[in-house]
Structure 1
């Protein structure tokens, strides 16, 4: 019994090593544009952020719009609200945003946040991906 356990453990370690090298050898990461809070991950540059409050209740947020300098036509955008010290705690679920038609120098992103209390978050994370 003891020899079979050692042999099986050796086979499992060898198989894991072979599987790991096979996965890393075939890993390809496509080029993308992404950013998180104030830390830049790649070439995404947000030129302007506009927080649009509710017209009848100024303590609520209706939407956040971003102007991105890169052409992100055909990409998807997601907004995550967070509270607390970075990285913070996620507030609710990620919000699917709308990527608008590129103007002369920027691509607009609109993230609807109806009835979101402004006091309920203190940072945003915008993810743009294919």
Structure 2
């Protein structure tokens, strides 16, 4: 670079040869191209990070939705199970009551039958004694 300079209101002006100008332009083009490539690479990396974050975030949101859905299903299943248990309890109680009632009726019937058969046996014994057999 030549040192041909001129002072003009606090500005230093360098006079460049044609070859130096071309060299300078070439350096500037390379610098701009490198800068453009570097920015493009940074943009792509940022996009990848954003995508990864987005994938992670969407994955976490999906997991949360699945967990909430499963929680609702567990709650519904628990309520249905409780209803079934209550219903089974009622049925069991009804069966127990019916069984107790049936057993009581059978016992009363057997008691009556036993009473009459005892009376019948007693009468036959008296008849045997009376008839002398």
Q: Same fold (TM over 0.5)?
A: no
> What TM-score do you get using the length of structure 2 for normalisation?
0.24
Which structure has greater strand proportion?
1
**More contact order relative to length (CA 8 Å, sep ≥ 6):** 1
Structure 1 length normalisation: TM-score? 0.25
